[in-house]
Amino acid sequence: MQRLLGPQLGIMNLIHDQIGIMPSCFSSPPEKRASADDHAISRSGQSVYMSVYRTKLAGQCRFITVTWCRNLLLHGLSVAVQGCDGASPQYACKIELNPLYFWKKQGSKRFSVEGKSVFVFWDLKIARFSGEAEPESEYYVAVVSDGEVALLLGNLRKEAYRKTGCRPSLIDPILVSRKEHIFGKKRFVTRVKFHERGSFNEIVILIENTNRSSEGQEMEIQINGIRAIHVGHLEWKFRGNQSIDLNKSRIDVYWDVHDWLFNPGLRHGLFIFKPKSQKIIDSDNDTDIEFCLFIYAWKLE
């Protein structure tokens, strides 16, 4: 899979491998590896949505990872900060959104990044979640340092600036990666933006048997209700890639569903969506950064 994606995605592999999800939800130390995180997700049946942004924070360009997770017992939000070199320590702020306590849905927390104060402000009192871990609207989450709002999520922007009392950052944050863990039996659905200023697109992954036995499966990927990819004889084509067109943009799609077919128990298939037009030049390291969407589709029996 890495060979197919090419060397330009090396920085994305760094994000994918080294920034932990901490899904349990907030007791795991930040140095836990992704494999342990995936095991915790599979055991808990937990939905996890993780977005990685690149922006200037505490005097340097850094990765800010925002993670929403939810299961039957817990709903949480985590904000982690790490240097763009991947070798810097990771600093995390963890927020448990307890539905029994109304005040937990609004507040702020402070933590330190290399001796500098970083604040996280949030307001989720009237947030619309639509059954998911991540809210759709009527909320804000703001990351603040040095009197600037380095990252602002949600549509309640005026309320966020009024609450923080800080000015917008002169550098716009860049969404460089999104990672989702979703569960289903034969149908997996998510809604994503391939560009920060673009509209939401619904992605549906369907698995069907072509006969009564478990063999002869086929897979279909739909985007906004239109079939974009069809794979017959999935047992022969469990890994592959294909380019599709969406809103005048070209998107490379990669899949690996080997574990669905040949490993027993709860396993995930990996799907990667990489828009070709979304390319950002990192002038500090003379490297191209391309946005990637990682979908971990956990198949329930």
Q: Which of 65-69, 89-93, 165-169, 172-176 has the lowest mean pLDDT?
A: 89-93
Is the Cβ–Cβ distance between 168 and 151 less than 8 Å? no
C-alpha angle 182-187-190 in degrees, rounded to nearest 5: 45
Token couple for 167: 């000015």
**Dihedral over Cα of 99, 131, 175, 51: its sign:** positive
Secondary structure string (H, E, C) spanning the chain: CHHHHCHHHHHHHHHHHHCCCCCCCCCCCCCCCHHHHHHHHHHHCCEEEEEEEEEEECCEEEEEEEEEEECCCCEEEEEEEEECCCCCCCEEEEEECCCCCHHHHEEEEEEEECCEEEEEEEECCCCECCCCCCCCECCEEEEEECCEEEEEECCCHHHHHHHHCCEECCCCCEEEEEEEEEEECCEEEEEECCCCCCCCEEEEEEEEECCCCCCCEEEEEEECCEEEEEECCCCCCCEEEEEEEECCEEEEEEEECHHHHHCCCCEEEEEEEEECCCEEEECCCCEEEECEEEEEEEECC
Q: Which residues contact 111 (CB under 8 A, 6 or more apart)?
A: 91, 92, 93, 117, 118, 120
Is the Cβ–Cβ distance between 177 and 292 less than 8 Å? yes
Give the per-residue pLDDT at 265: 80
Question: pLDDT band at residue 22, thresholds of 50, 70 and 90?
Answer: very low
Is the Cβ–Cβ distance between 280 and 287 less than 8 Å? no
Give the per-residue pLDDT at 15: 37
Cβ burial, residue 227 (10 Å; 0-12/13-18/19+): exposed
Over residues 270-275, the mean pLDDT reads 95
Over residues 53-79, the mean pLDDT reads 89
Give the per-residue pLDDT at 260: 92
Q: Using CA atoms, how far apart are residues 16 and 177, in angstroms rounded to an integer?
A: 8
Model confidence at 107: pLDDT above 60 = yes
Give the per-residue pLDDT at 227: 95
Q: Which of 2-6, 129-133, 264-268 has the lowest mean pLDDT?
A: 2-6
Better-predicted residue by pLDDT, 103 or 97? 97
Is this model's pTM higher than 0.85 or not? Answer: no
Token couple for 254: 């990669």
Is the Cβ–Cβ distance between 44 and 128 less than 8 Å? no
Give the per-residue pLDDT at 256: 97
Question: pLDDT band at residue 167, thresholds of 50, 70 and 90?
Answer: very high
Better-predicted residue by pLDDT, 209 or 163? 163
Looking at every residue in the chain, the average pLDDT score rounds to: 80
